């Protein structure tokens, strides 16, 4: 018996070096909204040593991480990174979609109210999410001793990463310029959130930015302030169980939509974010300890270059005007099938949502209407093809596009027909902004995103092997030795999770 005990001790010393943690004290997930993969190289010489470059130089970079579904938009990207699956399983199929025929914001929950203000974006929760997240699995594994907190400018970017059982999620009320939550999580804001809000009220730059703070790098600064306050206020990484902090930076998306992928505004946003990231990493080092936290950084989607910018340089690209497209569809269905009332409810993220009730009341065949919509879209010069979701497997879509269409489709929520546009063509609402851009397609400019792992048990290195946004959650869960989220369809990245 003594010999067995001695052997066990020797094995422990051999395979567990002095000072090594059996589990990280804290997991940190960072999502940069609308960050293209090539920005890591574009700004590398201008980044500081303590932010993005530190993650690249000391961490592990997956240089060919792709989003494996469409549409590539914010709510889906955040959800997919933390659930390890796509809309086909987790059910969050857009920033806005339809549930039971009603248009809903992705995290809208009318059974809860705002805490911290009377904001219209206070009735929010993760209840529309059908699967668990990394944080949920961590809390389950530790009998709910782990703490999980989400922080972002956007409600959906704080709520979905943190998951169903999160201790807290905080997002910004831009009207009152304060961080809020909802009664799903708590009845009153913690003192540390009140302190952050009080500091924002006294900050002249923040007050001057006002409700437009999302269009400025200050948004990233106050997000970092809130993340550090939560880190300290919740004593994350200080308990016996591993905790989790989910942080999303949204100003890069707001600025990107307005000013595109090139120019002073976008440059300023990423250089300021790099400084904020450096400040967050320093706080993690001081609060949790270098090597004691496991961190990943990714994006929810990329972005297309502005179509005018492309055309000026003799490159293909152009807009598909949404309202004009809807009008053309209505006219085609009226001419072909005799419709006298509108049959289209919406067009969101290249998907057409039909009004099934109106179609039935007019005595029209739903399938014939869908066929007519497909026919109309296919005839448009900006469109490569269009498919009825329910007939997608019978279509002539190439395998890559077919897989991404199917992985992004959830019945009853994703609409009826999806259009595949030509490369660098994108849907837009008007033609008033000469610098705008957006995202949502399967193409690399929207789907190729950064993925960096850093910290606890992460060796420095890189791979160009194709991995997916849905591989993040199973990788983190394998490293933590906990079960994958309930709908997980991704695979652990074995170069990281050894």
Catalytic center residues:
74
Return d(Cα 261, Cα 103) in angstroms, integer: 30
309-344 CB burial, b ≥16 within 10 A, e <16: bbeeeeeebbbbebeebbeebbebbeeebebeeebb
Q: Are 135 and 165 in contact, with CB atoms under 8 Å apart?
A: yes
Could you give phi then psi for residue 64, rounded to 5 degrees? -135, 55
Which tokens belong to 158? Answer: 């704080």
**HEC profile for the chain?**
CHHHHHHHHHHHHHHCCCCCCCCCCEEEEEEECCCCCCHHHHCCCCCCCCCHHHHHHHCEEECCEECCCCCCCHHHHHHHHHHCCCHHHHCCCCCEEEECCEEEECCECCCCCEECCCCHHHCECCCCCCCCCHHHHHHHHCCCCCCEEEEECCHHHHHHHHCCCCCEEEEEECCCCEEEEECCCCCCCCHHHHHHHHHHHHCHHHHHHHHHHHHCCHHHHHHHHHHHHHHHHCCCCCCCCCEEEEEEECHHHHHHHHHCCCCHHHHHHHHHHHHHHHHHHHHHHHHCCCCCEEEEEEECCCCCCCHHHHHHCCCCCEEEEHHHHHHHHHHHHHHHHCCCCCCEEEEECCEEEECHHHHHHCCCCHHHHHHHHHHHHHCCCCEEEEEEHHHHHHCCCCHHHHHHHHHCCCCCCCCCEEEEECCCEEEECCCCCCCCCCCCCCCHHHHEECEEEEECCCCCEEECCCEEHHHHHHHHHHHHCCCCCCCCCCCCCCCCCC
């Amino acid at each position: 018996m003594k010999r067995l005990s001695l052997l066990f001790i020797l094995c422990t010393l051999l395979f567990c070096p002095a000072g090594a943690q059996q589990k990280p004290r804290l997991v940190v997930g960072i999502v940069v909204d609308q960050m293209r993969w090539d920005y890591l190289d574009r700004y590398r010489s201008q980044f500081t040593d303590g932010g993005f470059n530190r993650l690249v130089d000391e961490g592990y970079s997956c240089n060919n991480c792709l989003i494996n579904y469409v549409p590539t938009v914010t709510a889906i990207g955040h959800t997919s990174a933390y659930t390890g699956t796509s809309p086909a399983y987790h059910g969050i199929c857009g920033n806005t979609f339809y549930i039971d025929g009603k248009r809903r914001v992705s995290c809208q929950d009318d059974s809860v109210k705002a805490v911290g203000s009377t904001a219209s974006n206070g009735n929010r929760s993760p209840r529309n999410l059908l699967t668990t997240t990394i944080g949920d699995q961590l809390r389950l594994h530790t009998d709910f001793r782990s703490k999980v907190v989400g922080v972002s400018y956007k409600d959906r970017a704080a709520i979905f990463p943190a998951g169903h059982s999160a201790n807290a999620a905080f997002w910004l009320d831009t009207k009152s310029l304060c961080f809020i939550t909802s009664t799903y999580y708590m009845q009153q804001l913690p003192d540390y959130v009140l302190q952050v809000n009080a500091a924002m009220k006294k900050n002249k730059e923040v007050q001057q930015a006002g409700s437009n703070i999302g269009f400025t790098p200050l948004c990233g600064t106050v997000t970092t302030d809130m993340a550090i306050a939560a880190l300290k206020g919740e004593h994350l990484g200080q308990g016996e169980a591993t905790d989790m902090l989910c942080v999303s930076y949204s100003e890069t998306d707001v600025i990107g939509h307005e000013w595109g992928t090139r120019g002073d505004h976008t440059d300023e946003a990423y250089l300021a974010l790099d400084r904020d990231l450096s400040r967050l990493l320093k706080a993690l080092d001081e609060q949790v300890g270098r090597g004691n936290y496991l961190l990943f950084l990714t994006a929810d989607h990329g972005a297309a270059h502005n179509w005018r910018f492309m055309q000026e340089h003799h490159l293909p690209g152009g807009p598909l005007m949404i309202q004009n497209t809807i009008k053309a569809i209505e006219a085609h269905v009226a001419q072909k099938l005799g419709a006298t009332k509108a049959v289209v409810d919406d067009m969101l993220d290249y998907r057409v949502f039909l009004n099934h009730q109106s179609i039935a009341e007019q005595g029209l065949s739903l399938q014939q209407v869908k066929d007519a919509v497909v026919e109309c879209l296919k005839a448009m010069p900006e469109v490569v093809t269009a498919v009825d979701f329910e007939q997608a497997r019978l279509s002539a879509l190439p395998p890559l596009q077919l897989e991404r269409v199917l992985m992004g489709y959830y019945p009853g929520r994703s609409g009826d027909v999806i259009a595949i546009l030509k490369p660098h063509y994108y849907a837009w609402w008007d033609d008033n902004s000469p610098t705008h851009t957006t995202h949502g397609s399967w193409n690399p400019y929207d789907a190729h995103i950064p993925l960096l792992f850093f910290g606890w048990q992460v060796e420095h290195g890189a791979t160009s092997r194709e991995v997916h946004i849905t591989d993040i959650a199973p990788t983190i869960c394998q490293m933590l030795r906990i079960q994958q989220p309930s709908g997980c369809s991704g695979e652990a990245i074995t170069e990281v999770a050894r």
